[in-house]
Amino acid sequence: MTTTPPENNEMTGDEGPELRALYEGFTAEHLTPLWTQRDDLMPLAPAPRAAAHVWRWRSLYRLAQRAGDLVPVGRGGERRAIALANPGLGGAAYATPTLWAAIQYLGPKETAPEHRHAQNAFRFVVEGEGVWTVVNGDPVRMSRGDLLLTPGWHFHGHHNETDQPMAWLDGLDIPFSHYADTGFFEFGADRVTDYATPNFSRSERLWAHPGLRPLSGLRDTVSSPIAAYRWEHTDRALTEQLLLEEEGQPATVEQGHAAVRYVNPTTGGDVMPTIRAEFHRLRPGAATATRREVGSSVFQVFDGRGEVTLDGRRHELRPGDLFTVPSWVPFSLRAESGFDLFRFSDAPVMERLHFARTHISAPDAPDAPEGDTR
C-alpha cells in the first residue's frame, strides 16, 4: 500500500483500499490533513498571491472622468469610487489582502451622501481643491497634499463647491475587515449635515498645534482626533530633514531620503489601529536600499519623477501613479528629480500581532531587469 499522500484529498488510483477509505472519510467530514497542505499553509517564507503592480494615474483619471459622465452619486452605490483590483487576487476589489484603495471622483457641485461603516478610512489628495468632507458633522477642507481621516463608525459625506471635478485616493482596511467578518454599515443623511466651508475644521482648531494637547482631551483615543494633516506641515518637515542632513545632522532615514509618519497625538502611535500612513521624499539621484517587509503597502507618487524596482522589475513613475508592494516582495526607490511619495500600509496589524519582520539589503544594482516604463 502506498504511503504517498494525495494532494487536496484527491486520489490518484494507486492507493490501497484502506488509505482510499481514510481520505474519503476526510472528505465526507470536511477535513483536510496537514500533510497534504503544509507547503501552502506554512511556506518557508511568505508567498503572496497578490502581485506587485503599478496603476497609471493618467489612465485611472480618464476612466474616472468617464464614470463621472455616466454614473450618478447617490443612495445605493453611495460613492463614485473605482477600486484597484490586484491582478493576483482573482478579481477581488482589493489592492492587497488587507488594504483597499480607490480613486474617488466627485463632479462639480455634487454631494456624496452621508454614511458610516466599521472600516477605517482616509483620503489623500494628489491634486485639486474645492471639496469638503464632513466627518461627524465637522466640515474638513480637502486640498492638495492633505491626508484626511475617517476612522471607523464616523458619519461622513462630501460636497464639491466648485465648477470643476475633483479626484482623490481613498484607502480603507476593507479586505482585512471582510476576512475577519467585522463589517457594519449604516446610511446617514441624503445630503451632508453641514455645508459650511471653513478653512480649518473644528478638530484642527483644537488639536493641530505642534507639541500641544488640550486639557479637555487628555483621554487617549483609538484613532487620531485630527481630521486633516495639512500639506504645508508635511512639506516643511521633509524640507527641514534634508536641510539638516546637508548640515551633517542625523535627520534622514537614509542618505537623501527624508520620511515622516502621521501620528495620533493622544498616543504617539499610528493614526488608525489598522492603517499606517507615511510620506517619503528623495533628493534627485537618491536611491533607497532594497527592503522586504512582512505586510503590504500601497504607494502613490505625489510629485516628481523616479522609479520603483518591484521584485526585480523597474517601473518608471510619474505624479499620481500608484503601486502595491505585497508581503515580502523586495522593493526599492530611485529618484530622477525630487521624488515625493505617500504610503499607507497594514503595519499596525502586523506589529500588534508580532508578525512584523524586515530585511534590508544594499541599493539595487543598475542592471536590474526592465519592467513597465510607460
- Taking the alpha carbons at both ends of the chain, their separation in whole angstroms is 57
Q: What is the pTM of this model?
A: 0.92
Q: Cell for 118?
A: 466599521
As a whole number of angstroms, the distance between CA 263 and CA 216 comes to: 19
- The answer to whether 346 and 296 have CB atoms below 8 angstroms apart is yes
Contacts of 46 (CB under 8 A, 6+ apart): 294, 327, 328
- pLDDT (tens, 9 = 90+) of the chain, 374 residues, equals 344 555 555 655 567 899 999 999 999 999 999 999 988 889 999 999 999 999 999 999 999 999 999 999 987 788 999 999 999 999 999 999 999 999 999 999 999 999 999 999 999 999 999 999 999 999 999 999 999 999 999 999 999 999 999 999 999 999 999 999 999 999 999 999 999 999 999 999 999 999 999 999 999 999 999 999 999 999 999 999 999 999 999 999 999 999 999 999 999 999 999 999 999 999 999 999 999 999 999 999 999 999 999 999 999 999 999 999 999 999 999 999 999 999 999 999 999 999 999 999 965 544 444 555 44
CB-count exposure of residue 273 (10 Å: 0-12, 13-18, 19+): middle
Q: Give the DSSP H or E segment for 323.
A: strand 322-325
- The answer to whether 158 and 194 have CB atoms below 8 angstroms apart is no
Task: Please report which residue ranges of 145-201 form alpha helices under DSSP H.
Answer: 174-180
Please choose, from the candidates 85, 110, 105, the residue with its C-alpha nearest in 3D space to the C-alpha of residue 97.
85
CB atoms within 10 A of CB 351: 15
CB atoms within 10 A of CB 80: 23
Confidence at residue 74, expressed as pLDDT on a 0 to 100 scale? 82
State phi, psi for 85 to the nearest 5 degrees: -105, 105
As a whole number of angstroms, the distance between CA 247 and CA 280 comes to: 20
Please choose, from the candidates 279, 349, 282, 320, the residue with its C-alpha nearest in 3D space to the C-alpha of residue 128.
320
State phi, psi for 300 to the nearest 5 degrees: -130, 130
